Chains A and B, each alone.
Chain A
Amino acid sequence: MNSFEYAMPKRTADVFRALESSDSIIKAGGIDVLDLIKEGIAHPQRLVNINSIDELKYIEGNQTTGVKIGPGTTLAELASSEVLSGSYRALAQAAGSTATPQIRNSATLGGSLCQRPRCWYFRNKDYHCTRKGGFTCFAVNGENENHAIFENDFGCVMVHPSTTAVALIALGAKLTIASAKSSREILVEDFFVTPRENMHRENILEQGEIITAIHLPPAAKNMVSYYYKQKAKQSFDWPIAEVAVSMQLDGKKCQNPRVALGAAAPVPMRSKEAESALNNQEVTIDIAASVGKEAMKKATPLSQNKYKVHIFQAVIKRTVCWASDIDPFA
């Protein structure tokens, strides 16, 4: 770990100033940043702590107006938010199933979206992998049981770690990204970049830019949502497979479904195959199972993770059922 300067701005405007030099990085809850520094992946000269900025911590609005969330909101706050208990519940479920209670009390939504991959080669200082500027993805021919089953033919086969992103994509959320000079809005599903687009980063943020708000669009009529993850141990763990679903349900008839998969690809991804298998269907256990099958049709598992394809089918089936208030085991 190198020594660094520590900045504690009180307002968002001061953050931009503190971020001007290219070797500054933001610390929100610090859960990932601290690991990155310890693991020798990040070597900041300046750490800018945005955790002290109150104006980045809020949950505003409701299902009719849409909801705006400050990036400094903790996962624990999201998990217990009243506003997120109805149509938006996938986000509360996702936040609540991330990591452990202690971590959720510190970890923020902004940090959760911008955390770096958990690939064990990437995180191990002894492996100089493609994402760190090397020439080899050690997972391709190595231990890849936790790696991607989609988008895994281009130099890096990690899976994006963000659980909250999966729910946000299913809910059609947008981000406001701002820098000292400008501000823009972008759909969460367009925020992440694949290795093909850029091997060395996971999202489109430029130096000096931060996420300043997260927006959930107004909930459509009869909109329901659900998030579920399968993990190796039940107390807390990273997902083997995670799925978020939102849709409008008229009785059991599904419309405008959005199905997002996490731990499947180097980006949290929408499954268009799943969505078209679900759209305009009366949801039943069998339909839900076929949605799972469709979603996995184009999967290209690696040498050790065929198991994930099977798990995803089950997890998608269950998530679709639970979103529609059906017991998947009946």
Chain B
Amino acid sequence: MNKKWVGTNVPRKEGIEKVTGKSKYIDDLTFPDMIYGITVRSDVPRGTIRKIHFADNINWDEFTIVTIEDIPGENVVTLIESDQPFLADKEIRHQQEPILLLAHPDKSLLEEARRSIRIEVDELPAIFNIEESLNKKQIIYSDDNIIKEYLITKGNTDDVWDSAYKIVSEEYHTGAQEQLYIENNGMIAIANDEEVTVWGSMQCPYYIHKALMPLFDLPAEKIRIIQTATGGGFGGKEEYPSIIAGHAALLARKAQKPVKLMYDRAEDMVATTKRHPSHTRQKIAVDENGKLLAIDIDFVLDGGAYTTLSAVVLSRGAIHAAGPYACENIRIRARAVATNTPPQGAFRGFGAPQSIFAFERHLDLVAKQLNMCPVEFRKQNFLQQGSLNATGQKIEEEVRLDKVLDLALEKSQYFAKKKQFAVHNSQKNVKTYKGVGLASFYHGAGFTGSGEVYLASIVGARLTADGKVKVLAASTEIGQGTNTIFSQIAADALGIDYDMVEIETPDTSKVPNSGPTVASRTCMIVGKLVESAVCGIRDTLLKSNLLTSEYTSQQFITASKKYLEDFGELKIFVKYKPPAGIHWDEKNYRGSAYSAYAWAVYVAEVSVDKYTYEMQVDDFVAVQEVGEVVHPILAQGQIEGGVAQGIGYALYEDVVWRNGQMANNQMTNYIIPTSLDAPDIRVFFSEPFQPGGVRKGIGELPMDGTAPAVISAVENATGKHVCHVPLRPEDLMMLYRKET
């Protein structure tokens, strides 16, 4: 195949509309007669609802009020486990549990009405963190608070400890993180007893579709979900939108009017999902040359009050926990536990940033105790072609992580900097300590294990009336460039102009289920399906002799139009087929967890103010192998954005928990780095390891390695071993205080 579009920086498909302000986000839309909804939530973390009181200062007749009585079908958000209700029935499990819904034509009356409802509750003691949950201070979920548990074993770690040259153990903690997409969550619904239509900001139209069928007890064709322009998601719009869509639709059905349900920033931050906080215990045995002999990891995530996606987040975290390193003996125990906080959910990286942080930090510690260079130590343990990773998957491709490393070292001047900073740090009259740090890691793209097989994604393509090609997929454009890369891939597959490819709006009445827009799978998995679907179109045209094997864009249009004239319509659908040689044993957690991994080495350079402990990332080098880069600017943007988000995770973003909910749910108090706070982020893509245009996902990758690289640099600057993120200046001060 000749590639004319893939690999070039074509203008974004929806770029002009976005920069000229024409794109319509959900809050830009109004419908005739539309009214506004609001959610009445619990204000205790755990208890049993006794009674609901409506104060008499409000004329309740004017309001649409939805209670559990108004739910036509099942009161449960269908996802992995069906344990979360749309509206709490009796039991309250967290402070943001939705209990009632209100709607009114005058938005300004909603807030007071919400406050005029008092939920009388018999309060129960609640638990708020991993320790309390593991200690079973209260049992709030099944009989041991464990939402999900996995055990990954390779070789036998127990045989190693006694004879090992050195054993190093330590514990690591990571905090929650808010996705903070630029557009808040929101939905508009129109509904009656027969059908439901919802528009809104989302990543996964078919998740909502699936959740609304049982809620309304309606068949698939009676539920229609339409994505509007979406201002970012980062995983935060993976599963929570199902709840908002359900709520808006329940109100609309009762009111018999369109209902808009928009969250403001405070509600969005306090009520919706975040990155799971984690605790990890690491125990590593090495020989005197620094060879990894055994790795024992105990990885725990705080899942919050309901299952949501915790089981799969945990799974990805566990599989990535031992990084891209070869070791004969590995044991990874992974648990997600329940607490009385709003459920945690998907967030770029999906469990991997937590476990990779712990492992990369621990490798630095082991290297230090071995008196070895952390770079050499890592390098000699890298996975190679033919090695088996933690789940026993054989690395088939010709991995050259050492080359990625070399490029990162060269671009960052790692060793020169290290020397230079050692001199700098020994001087008295300087304001800062300086340091460099590094992390090496890999990220599996696509759903874990048999996930893609179960998903069985479908993509379609059809001819438009003017002879162009339209891609039919439920994969959403959420700012990351889906529409653009699909068009590039389709245009090259067909050998036609980029502008001749159109993308259908993700609307469940028009597009098949190409799976959720998550797990860095869109380019790699769905992109491949797009390619096959449009090839199906071409083959049909060839077969009907309207086209010869060599054709121009114009000839393609002519042929398409002729086909439509003769046969009416041309639509092709293709379904995912797993690549050969991919086997996954779900029961024992062994086998090929992912069909492809992206590989990376990141280097951070920081300065730390000697007196105020303020930390600043001064330079950042991100080198990765991601296979074929479809759109260099978009790819670079993904990496830069992920690195910035990772710097936030490392140094700024502190979710303050109070009584089981986020206390700093305002952007004045929850600080994220702006572009001005971010360093120069220098992004390099290494030569693909394999020929033949293999593409690997890149969306989540940069989130994995940034925080450990940054903290490693802080450690190099200060000499303090840091075991947690976020690391705020006051935390660093405490580390200094502890020593003196």
Contact = CB atoms under 8 A, between A and B. Distances in A.
Interface of A: 1-3, 40, 118, 120, 123-126, 142-143, 145-146, 230, 232-238, 307, 310-311, 313-315, 317, 328-330
Interface in B661-691: 663-666, 668-669, 671, 673-677
B677 A238 contact: no
A1 B108 contact: yes
Contacts of B372: none
B733 A310 contact: yes
Contact of A143 (B266, B663, B677, B728): B663
B135 interface: no
Nearest to A127: B663
Interface stretch (B414-422, B510-518, B608-616): B608-616
A120 B669 contact: yes
A234 B354 CA distance: 26
Contacts of A238: 668
Given A40-B111, A120-B669, A329-B429, A143 B664 contact: yes
A195 B705 CA distance: 47
Interface string B609-642: 0011010100000000000000000000000000
Interface string B266-307: 100000000000000000000000000000000000000000
B107 to A, nearest CB: 8
B430 interface: yes
Contact of B671 (A145, A230, A232): A232
A230 B615 CA distance: 12
A314 to B, nearest CB: 4
B666 A311 contact: no
Q: State the main secondary structure of chain B at its contact with A.
A: loop
A2 B612 CA distance: 44
Contacts of A317: 611
Contacts of B671: 232-233, 237
Given A3-B108, A237-B671, A329-B429, 15 more contacts: A1-B108, A124-B665, A125-B111, A125-B266, A126-B43, A143-B656, A143-B664, A230-B614, A233-B673, A233-B677, A235-B673, A235-B677, A307-B730, A311-B612, A317-B611
Interface string B702-734: 000000000000000000000000001110010
Nearest to B736: A310
Nearest to B675: A235
Contacts, number: 67
A120 B673 contact: no
Contact of B674 (A118, A124, A236, A307): A236
B652 interface: yes
B130 to A, nearest CB: 20
A123 B668 contact: yes
Interface residues of B, number: 30
A145 B671 CA distance: 14
A143 B675 CA distance: 28
A175 to B, nearest CB: 27
A329 B609 CA distance: 11
B484 to A, nearest CB: 29
Nearest to A126: B43
B668 A307 contact: no
Contacts of A310: 611-612, 733
B431 interface: yes
B658 interface: yes
Contact of B431 (A3, A126, A236, A329): A329
Contacts of A230: 612, 614
Max count, chain B CB within 10 A of own CB: residue among A3, A230, A311, A330: A311
Max count, chain A CB within 10 A of own CB: residue among B429, B430, B614: B614
A234 B656 contact: no
A142 B658 contact: yes
A328 B656 CA distance: 34
Max count, chain A CB within 10 A of own CB: residue among B111, B612, B668: B612
Contacts of A123: 666, 668
B652 A307 contact: no
B730 A145 contact: yes
A310 B729 CA distance: 11
25 contacts: A2-B108, A118-B668, A126-B43, A142-B663, A143-B664, A145-B730, A230-B612, A230-B614, A232-B652, A232-B671, A233-B674, A233-B677, A234-B676, A234-B677, A235-B673, A235-B674, A235-B675, A307-B733, A311-B729, A314-B612, A315-B612, A328-B431, A329-B430, A329-B431, A330-B429
A226 B292 CA distance: 56
A235 B673 CA distance: 8
A307 B108 contact: no
A1 B110 CA distance: 9
Contacts of A234: 616, 676-677
Contacts of B668: 118, 120, 123, 238
Nearest to B41: A126
B106 to A, nearest CB: 9
Given A40-B111, A233-B652, A124 B658 contact: no
A142 B611 CA distance: 27
Nearest to B270: A126
A237 B677 CA distance: 11
Contacts of B663: 120, 142-143
Contacts of B676: 234-236
Interface string B325-344: 00000000000000000000
**What 6 pairs between A and B have smallest CB-CB spacing?**
A235-B676, A307-B730, A314-B611, A329-B431, A235-B674, A235-B677
